[in-house]
Structure 1
Amino acid sequence: MTDLPLLTIGVTLLTCVLAVIGVHVYSSGKAQRQALVDRMAQTGEVVMPGGRRRRFSGVDRRLRTTTLGKRIERKIAVTGLDLTPGEYAVYVVGGLLGLYFVVGAIFAPFFGILAALIGLWGGNAFLNWQRVRRTEAFISQLPELTRVLANATQAGLAMRTALAMAAEELDDPAGEELRRVADQLSVGHSLDDALGELADRLPSRELVVLVTTLVLSSRAGGQVVSSLRNLTETLEERKETRREVTTMLSQVKVTALAVPLLGLGFLLLINAMTPGALDKMTGSVIGQVGTIVAFALYAVGYLLIRRMSRIQV
């Protein structure tokens, strides 16, 4: 027992030495890896992808082999989200289970099933909303894009070089989308095909006009600079008009969202005034059918209000 303090000190010193050696090995290995990445990036041989560690790789591999997985992958590709199909599927399933238990506990089990079905539709609607959001962000950058292309072509640069330069100067999403176009052009794709795929990924009338102008100018020649200058002014005016229309219709959009929320509020009020009323209401077939019809009417009203407030500029 008299040697216990010495033994403790010895073990502590040995642990410290091993910790120092481990830190040194880790730092030297990290420095060697970074030097290797920098050397390969300079030679252009390999570009090691960065980013976060992917989750649910097993689910992702199995899902990509199915038709549903390929469809999800195509939708995610045009949204700009840093997600894999496997991650998206797991998150959606987890969200559906959470909706079922939470809504079922607050209202009634039947409402949990309806919430899960609505959440399944909401997962697809979320991807569509992200695509529209990305398209709107790209449209807002079109005036700056046409200005950069006009300046580059006026300086004597070819359209391929002008697109690559615009990809470096513009922020995302325009920068990322133009980098895809530049990569396709660098591997031999024609300008028509590369720009056509861009218009398919981000469908909008403004982008179609720009793509048509660039394609026709590359085919038949002509005053590309003057066409881009005029297009820049037109896009600036359309951008201001779209902003004004969005501001004017904001109250209508809030109303479309408030109507179904009021219905849910009334259900909560009824259940608070008479505990168990929702369980009794959805305990019979007639009550379940009436609940489904009521939710369907709320959905139709929401869609009709959004449809009437949709103005194409």
Structure 2
Amino acid sequence: MTLRTLVQLTTGITLLTCVLAVLGVHAYATGRAQRQALVERLSAAGQIETLGRRRRFAGLDRRLRRTRLGKRLELRLAATGLDVTPGEFFVGMVAAVAGLWLIGQATLAPFFGPIAGLLGIWAAVQFLNWQRQQRIERFIGQLPELARIMANATQAGLALRTAIGMAAEELEAPAGEELAKVANQLAVGISMDAALGELADRLPSRELVVLVTTLVLSHRAGGQVVSALRNLTETLEERKETRREVRTQLSQVNMTSYAVPALGVGSLFLMNGVKDGALERMTESPLGQTAVVVAFGLYTIGFVLIRRLSRIDV
């Protein structure tokens, strides 16, 4: 290989490297512009906070999402509206369980450590259920206004997709956030049936199922969606008042369901306070441990029975 050939080869490789560098910079700039456009779009939909917050435990979160438990936890967190990833919630729950374990073991007796840990898991699950139910209740309270806005929009000649986007802009959370998700799904090509069905799965309620069914049937068959939505608005207003009355009547019963197990746990601290070390001596024998387990089981059964008997489906 002569010197001239070597110079030409070196020059060609250098030019090729420069071309590839220019293409790489162009691809990077294009991707950055697309990401900025996506951020601005999500910002308009009210979701920029989710993108901007720094996520913790990313590795654990990725591994957890691959499991069945992680997928169920992710769906439950999405229904609660909490800005928490499954990994963050799992780490927080483990920390709470460990703390309750140590507290129960130190303040009562070593036998109560695992029981306190199980109570921590139960409390975490109940917290998610409570957050989800609160979000569902707030969403149900906004359904009459949602139906009214969509009826006015469709009466003005707007398409159903446009009416959903308009309702997402005018309504506050949680209805505005949930409808923004539906509007974003429709914008990327997901069908109306799938997007509204996913909304009904996230926030299950009879009122929302009726609204989703009305919209889906009207979208498929092209029926009188305006009159259907106006009739549905009146029905939702009546159900809203009925649910408020039922909830007021059952508030005392619900408080009783939580007071019963609280009295049982309080009696343990009272017993240990009257005579220090009484619980530790009691739980050293198998008979005492069995009595404690049976007592906790009876309190749990009482809590569940009171909640079931006070549940009225409206």
Query: Which range, TM-score by smaller chain?
Result: 0.7 to 0.9
Number of the residue aligned with 2:142? 141
Post-superposition offset of 1:148: 0.5
3-state SS of the aligned residue for 1:275?
Answer: coil
3-state SS of the aligned residue for 1:78?
Answer: helix
Post-superposition offset of 1:63: 2.4
Number of the residue aligned with 2:261? 260
Post-superposition offset of 1:100: 0.9
Q: Does 1:211 align with 2:196?
A: no
Q: 1:141 to 1:69 in 2, by over 3 A?
A: same
Number of the residue aligned with 1:75? 76
- What is the alpha-carbon distance in structure 2 between the residues aligned to residue 149 and residue 286 of structure 1? 64
Number of the residue aligned with 1:156? 157
Q: 1:293 to 1:46 in 2, by over 3 A?
A: closer
- What is the alpha-carbon distance in structure 2 between the residues aligned to residue 62 and residue 207 of structure 1? 33
Post-superposition offset of 1:43: 8.5
Report 1 or 2 for greater relative contact order, CA contacts < 8 Å, sequence distance ≥ 6. Answer: 2
Number of the residue aligned with 1:84? 85
After TM superposition, the structure 1 = structure 2 runs for residues 148-227 of structure 1, keeping only pairs within 5 Å, are 148-227=149-228
Post-superposition offset of 1:233: 1.1
The two structures, once aligned, show a CA RMSD in angstroms of 2.1
Post-superposition offset of 1:294: 0.3
- What is the alpha-carbon distance in structure 1 between the residues aligned to residue 175 and residue 156 of structure 2? 22
Number of the residue aligned with 2:131? 130
Q: 1:303 to 1:43 in 2, by over 3 A?
A: closer
After TM superposition, the structure 1 = structure 2 runs for residues 4-83 of structure 1, keeping only pairs within 5 Å, are 40=33, 44=37, 47=40, 50-83=51-84
3-state SS of the aligned residue for 1:109?
Answer: coil
Q: Does 1:292 align with 2:293?
A: yes
- What is the alpha-carbon distance in structure 1 between the residues aligned to residue 145 and residue 75 of structure 2? 28
Post-superposition offset of 1:44: 3.6
Post-superposition offset of 1:135: 1.3
Q: Does 1:105 align with 2:100?
A: no
3-state SS of the aligned residue for 1:141?
Answer: helix
User: What 5-or-longer segments of structure 1 have no aligned partner?
Assistant: 1-35
Post-superposition offset of 1:46: 5.6
Q: 1:43 to 1:115 in 2, by over 3 A?
A: closer
Alpha-carbon displacement from aligned partner over 1:98-139 (angstroms, at most 9, x marks no partner): 101112222212112101012122222322222222111111
Contact 2:75 2:202 in 1 (8 A): no
User: What 5-or-longer segments of structure 2 have no aligned partner?
Assistant: 1-28, 43-47
- What is the alpha-carbon distance in structure 1 between the residues aligned to residue 252 and residue 163 of structure 2? 42
3-state SS of the aligned residue for 1:156?
Answer: coil
Contact 2:108 2:269 in 1 (8 A): yes
TM-score in terms of structure 2 length: 0.82
Moved more, 120-129 or 140-149: 120-129
- What is the alpha-carbon distance in structure 2 between the residues aligned to residue 43 and residue 98 of structure 1? 42
Post-superposition offset of 1:219: 2.1
Equivalenced residues, count: 276
Moved more, 66-75 or 167-176: 66-75
Post-superposition offset of 1:216: 1.6
Alpha-carbon displacement from aligned partner over 1:137-188 (angstroms, at most 9, x marks no partner): 1111101100100110111101110001101111111111111111121122
